[in-house]
């Protein structure tokens, strides 16, 4: 260890922590920890390895500090974020861009020197009187071509506890780096705390991504989406790494769909937050690899995928025994679970849509709560926040796939793209080919906003492959990378588009919550060429006979022809309006690949031809 780091580190680290850090013979790591100490001025520093003892100490410390409170069920705790700190803050999340770098203007950014000066001013002395925690994790399975080593520095035991549940321990993996500089770094402080242990200065909340240094700064926030560096913050860094190295870092779940004769076909799916992503990954009867982030590599002519994480930070709203039985069972059984921003009464958590009566009083994210309570602006405070969460380990799930930690990944048969769409797209369709799917389903993805991000709800927004918020390269290059990814593959995954949120004229959903299981079964059969499809201007859809058979076999329901017609009618005016919106987006994107606008134009021509022949709304039976 170089002497300029040693003096700083020995002043704050006890012998055990210093030995752990020194065992990692990496000057860049030592410099990072030493500079964080000098900037944040903690009272002490604890360096953790992969041991159960260190993980147990973090969990115990979070309760002792009041960041979490034990609940009645063994292993369950509750964490409350500040009232205005309960979702990802897109406006305060920015890329630090060096003067010589040209980053797409659609991406939120600030000049690197200016941003560093600002965020470091907020971090200056931010850990005074507190213990700094230094944690090591691995994105993707350890000892794998997918592995990315990471180090997180934080003063929040809750953040460290969350990451212990969500990611694979990475201290031993870090040793394999030697003196390599190839690792991700995260520095977080909750900042000044209010009386209730929540971040007091949320107006100074900053989440800045230094893309030149593979590093993230986060301050004056506790919400995990802003502070758990290895989640969406690391995704931004991974997208740049993937761009350099020729693979894909995606906002995707990975699951195994079980077909005939014990066959398992793996799919990866991209859905914006609160659009059915976790519930799809958790469909009863199938097995989960991961629910949120995936790395994809071309291996031996096929696409291999791994779950970046080993836990779930899921939206708890509407998780109930009927629709989400596996997760509901974990949330109601002894074991390690962190609830956040739900209502607690007598040590028992309650949340919106749990399928049970919710008490009229208790403790929630606003403090003492009673029914009818309003905030300073007169808005009603719900018993549980709409973006309330749970944190669990995937290993706690009964439906965990046996290959969830396979270092070689799983071979994908299909990719799925889906968002919230009340009036345009059918529940399930298959693209004509890879490029058509990437462009009209992935790169044209729209979704109506939810409480998972700050701002108004119900606004239809463009969300490129459900990854727009996390892109750290130009949109045009990201699209081209996805298009090029199929080059040279012996078996490219089929591409599908889903929509669980289609409504009728009265505003009622046309899909049942468990219908997604049928769409998955149909996709699995399509991958193996075992069912036919009907070609529409926007893609290929199931036949009524196949769906009728699948609904009867798997949901024990009599799927009607009327339901089929309502769900799979081609809504031409709405589809043309969507093309107008998407084309307008790409005309404003620098260097949009020509194939994007050409593919959208060809889809417009097909829709107009059908419209001229059969009218605005065309039944699938008329195709």
**351, 357, 360, 365: CA torsion to nearest 10:** 0
Q: Are 77 and 63 in contact (CB under 8 A)?
A: yes
For residues 267, 271, 274, 275, the Cα torsion angle rounded to the nearest 10 degrees is -80
Q: pLDDT value at position 455? A: 58
The position carrying tokens 């003892």 is: 53
343-345 sheet: strands from edge to edge: 348-350, 343-345, 361-364, 367-370
pLDDT score for 432: 98
Helix, strand counts (H, E) of the chain: 18, 33
At residue 226, the 3 state secondary structure works out as helix
Question: H or E segment at 610?
Answer: helix 594-614
What CA–CA distance (Å, rounded) separates 300 from 610? 41
Instruction: Write out the two tokens for 284.
Output: 């009863």
Domain ranges of the chain: 3-246, 249-309+402-622, 313-396
Alpha-carbon distance of 201 to 82, in angstroms, equals 10
Residue 3: count other Cβ atoms within 10 Å of its Cβ: 6
User: In this structure, which topology does domain 249-309+402-622 adopt according to CATH?
Assistant: Phosphoenolpyruvate Carboxykinase; domain 3 (3.90.228)
DSSP single-letter state for residue 355: S
Q: How far apart are CA 61 and CA 620, in angstroms?
A: 59
In angstroms, the CA 151 to CA 35 distance is 14
Tokens of 358: 């919710």
Contact of 255 with 286, CB cutoff 8 Å:
yes
Looking at 50-120, which runs of residues are DSSP E strands?
69-70, 76-79, 93-97, 109-111
Per DSSP, what are the bridge partners of residue 571? Answer: 617
Strand partners, 255: 267, 288
List residues bridging with 254 in a β-sheet: 268, 290
Q: Could you tell me the two tokens for 149?
A: 């080593």
48 flagged as catalytic: no
Q: Where are the alpha helices (DSSP H) in 124-276?
A: 157-166, 171-175, 224-227, 234-245
Topology at the third CATH level for domain 3-246: Phosphoenolpyruvate Carboxykinase; domain 1 (3.40.449)
Which stretches of the chain drop beneath a pLDDT of 70? 449-458
Q: What is the 3-state secondary structure (H, E, C) of 74-89?
A: CCEEEECCCCCCCCEC
Q: What pTM did the predictor assign?
A: 0.94
Looking at 40, 48, 138, 275, which residue is catalytic? 275
Assigned token pair, 426: 């059918």
| Per-residue pLDDT at 454 | 53
Residue 486 DSSP class: T
Give the C-alpha separation, 473 to 336, whole Å: 37
- Which residues make beta-bridge pairs with 270? 417
Taking alpha carbons only, the member of 238, 203, 199 closest to residue 221 is 199
**Distance (Å, whole) CA 205 – CA 84:** 11
Alpha carbon of residue 282 to chain centroid: 15
Q: What is the number of other CB atoms lying within 10 angstroms of the CB of residue 69? A: 17
- Kindly state the tokens that stand for 86: 């309960």
pLDDT of residue 249: 98
CA-closest candidate to residue 392, choices 356, 454, 453, 349: 349
Tell me, rounded to whole angstroms, the distance of Cα 248 from its chain centroid: 15
Spatial CA neighbour of 329 closest among 390, 245, 420, 275: 390
Give the CA count within 13 Å in the CB-facing half-sphere of 449: 15
Alpha-carbon gap, residue 161 to 163, rounded angstroms: 5
- N-to-C CA span, the chain: 72
Give CA 323 to chain center in angstroms: 20
Pairing type for strands 287-290 and 253-258 reads: antiparallel
How high is the pLDDT of residue 323? 83
C-alpha–C-alpha distance, residues 53 and 17, integer Å: 13
């Amino acid at each position: 260890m170089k002497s300029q780091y040693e003096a700083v580190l020995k002043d704050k680290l006890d012998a055990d922590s210093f030995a752990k850090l020194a065992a990692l013979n990496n000057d860049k790591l030592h410099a990072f920890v030493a500079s964080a100490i000098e900037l944040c001025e903690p009272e002490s520093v604890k360096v953790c390895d992969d041991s159960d003892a260190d993980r147990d100490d973090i969990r115990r410390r979070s309760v002792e500090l009041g960041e979490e409170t034990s609940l009645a069920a063994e292993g369950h705790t509750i964490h409350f974020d500040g009232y205005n700190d309960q979702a990802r803050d897109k406006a305060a999340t920015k890329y630090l861009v060096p003067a010589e770098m040209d980053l797409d203007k659609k991406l939120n950014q600030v000049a690197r020197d200016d941003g560093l000066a600002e965020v470091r001013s907020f971090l200056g002395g931010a850990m005074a009187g507190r213990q700094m925690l230094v944690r090591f994790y691995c994105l993707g399975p350890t000892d794998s071509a997918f592995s990315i080593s990471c180090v997180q520095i934080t003063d929040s035991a809750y953040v460290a506890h969350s990451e212990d549940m969500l990611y694979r321990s990475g201290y031993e993996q870090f040793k394999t780096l030697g003196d390599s500089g190839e690792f991700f770094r995260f520095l977080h402080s909750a900042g000044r705390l209010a009386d209730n242990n929540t971040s007091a200065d949320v107006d100074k909340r900053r989440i800045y991504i230094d893309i030149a240094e593979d590093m993230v700064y986060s301050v004056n926030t506790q919400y995990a989406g802003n502070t758990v560096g290895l989640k969406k913050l690391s995704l931004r860094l991974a997208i740049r790494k993937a761009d350099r190295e020729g693979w894909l870092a995606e906002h995707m779940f990975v699951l195994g769909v079980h077909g005939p004769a014990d066959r398992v076909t793996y799919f990866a799916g991209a859905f914006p937050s609160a659009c059915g992503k976790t519930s799809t990954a958790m469909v009863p009867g199938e097995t989960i690899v991961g629910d949120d982030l995936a790395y994809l590599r071309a291996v031996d002519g096929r696409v291999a995928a791994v779950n970046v994480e080993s836990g779930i930070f899921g939206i708890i709203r509407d998780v109930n025994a009927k629709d989400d039985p596996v997760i509901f069972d974990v949330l109601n059984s002894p074991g390690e679970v962190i609830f956040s921003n739900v209502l607690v009464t007598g040590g028992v958590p309650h949340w919106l849509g749990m399928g049970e009566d919710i008490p009229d009083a208790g403790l929630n994210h606003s403090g003492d709560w009673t029914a009818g309570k309003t905030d300073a602006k007169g808005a009603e405070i719900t018993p549980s926040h709409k973006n309330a969460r749970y944190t669990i380990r995937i290993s706690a799930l009964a439906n965990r796939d046996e290959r969830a930690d396979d270092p070689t990944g799983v071979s994908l048969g299909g990719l799925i793209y889906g968002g919230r769409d009340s009036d345009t797209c059918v529940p399930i369709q298959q693209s004509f080919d890879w490029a058509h799917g990437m462009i009209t389903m992935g790169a044209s993805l729209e979704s109506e906003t939810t409480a998972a991000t700050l701002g108004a709800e119900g606004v239809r927004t463009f969300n490129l492959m459900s990854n727009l918020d996390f892109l750290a390269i130009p949109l045009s290059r990201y699209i081209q990378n996805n298009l090029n990814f199929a080059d040279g593959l012996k078996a490219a995954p089929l591409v599908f588009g889903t929509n669980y949120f289609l409504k009728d004229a009265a505003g009622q959903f046309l899909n049942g919550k468990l219908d997604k299981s049928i769409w998955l079964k149909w996709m699995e059969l399509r991958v193996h060429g075992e069912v036919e499809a009907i070609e529409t201007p926007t893609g290929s859809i199931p036949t009524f006979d196949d769906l009728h058979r699948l609904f009867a076999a798997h949901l024990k329901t009599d799927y009607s022809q009327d339901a089929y017609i309502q769900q799979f009618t081609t809504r031409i005016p709405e589809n043309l309006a969507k093309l107008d919106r998407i084309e307008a987006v790409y005309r404003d994107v620098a260097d949009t690949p020509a194939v994007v606008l050409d593919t959208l134009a060809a889809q417009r021509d097909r829709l107009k031809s059908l419209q001229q022949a059969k009218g605005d709304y065309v039944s699938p039976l008329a195709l």
